[in-house]
Amino acid sequence: MKGTPIFFYIFVMWLLIIAGGALIVPIIAHISIQGFGNLDGIIDSVVKAGIAIILVVLWILIMSKIKNWIFHQQIRH
């Protein structure tokens, strides 16, 4: 089918969005770093932001690989 690869791409994109929300909301949001005195909140926020940025970069790399795979499949046909 001609439109199947784009639907696969959109399906994977939504799976990554849902998986990211499933990781960030219940797991990463409850991380609490203590023991640094007044810097607890700042260090806590930096760690959470770092994890979120790493996840975003990972999702972009995954989507880029899938996009390239789809385009290579289209060129072969």
User: Is 54 in contact with 7 (CB distance < 8 Å)?
Assistant: no
Number of domains comprising the chain: 1
H/E element holding 48? helix 40-76
What is residue 54's predicted lDDT score, i.e. its pLDDT?
92
* Residue 67 pLDDT level (bands cut at 50, 70, 90): confident
Look up the domain containing 42 and give its range. 4-76
Task: Report the mean per-residue pLDDT for the chain.
Answer: 84
- For residue 1, pLDDT over 70 is answered with no
Q: What is the mean pLDDT of residues 37-54?
A: 90
| Alpha carbon distance 76, 25 (integer Å) | 41
